[in-house]
Amino acid sequence: MGMNTEDIFERLRKGETVSPNDPDAHQMMEASFATKKLLVQMNNATEPEEIRSLLSQIIGSEIDGTVNLFTPLHINYGKHTKIGKNVFINFDCVFLDLGGITIEDNVFIAPKVSLLSEGHPTSIEDRHSLIPKPIRIKNNAWIGANVTILQGVTIGENAVVAAGAVVSKDVPDNTIVGGIPAKIIKEIHS
């Protein structure tokens, strides 16, 4: 079997499990500390334009002027996060994005939301490996306060996730989910 020459971040983006013995694993920590420097600046900024500019640097793409972010925000990498237009992200959210996070247009994210696109195997001998799976939040979704969305989950268009929910499975379009684990509470009709 030949040596994998792909960049570790591209491998993560493609969903490859990375073991702690991977020769490039150290790059994840180094990138996290580089992101932390920008986060300190962003989380101490007070002007919306400056916050958007620093967030653009963190994620590596332009943030639309219709996006509003109330800091602090905590991101471990940043470059695997995509944010659409007219998105509102409230105070004290956590994004672990090595597996990828996509936030489409018109999404509301309440305070203390955790988007965790990374996990670990349950087996003791492999537990320090990292399993990345993308999170996608579709157009017009509303994520309530203190929600945790786990790796590999898609939140459907127009969906609402009730405060305090832990979402471990996909949420269909036009539904309200809540609880631990989150379950469908009702459908949304126009």
Mind telling me the catalytic residues?
120
Distance CA(41)–CA(43), nearest Å, equals 6
What are residue 21's phi and psi, to 5 degrees?
A: -90, 0
Cβ neighbours for 189, distance < 8 A, ≥ 6 positions apart: 174
Contact call for residues 47 and 36 (beta carbons, < 8 A):
no
Q: Do strands 175-178 and 183-187 pair parallel, antiparallel, or not at all (unpaired)?
A: antiparallel
Contact call for residues 144 and 160 (beta carbons, < 8 A):
yes
Distance CA(125)–CA(133), nearest Å, equals 21
The two structure tokens encoding residue 74: 């905590």
CA angle 65, 92, 127 (to 5 degrees): 115
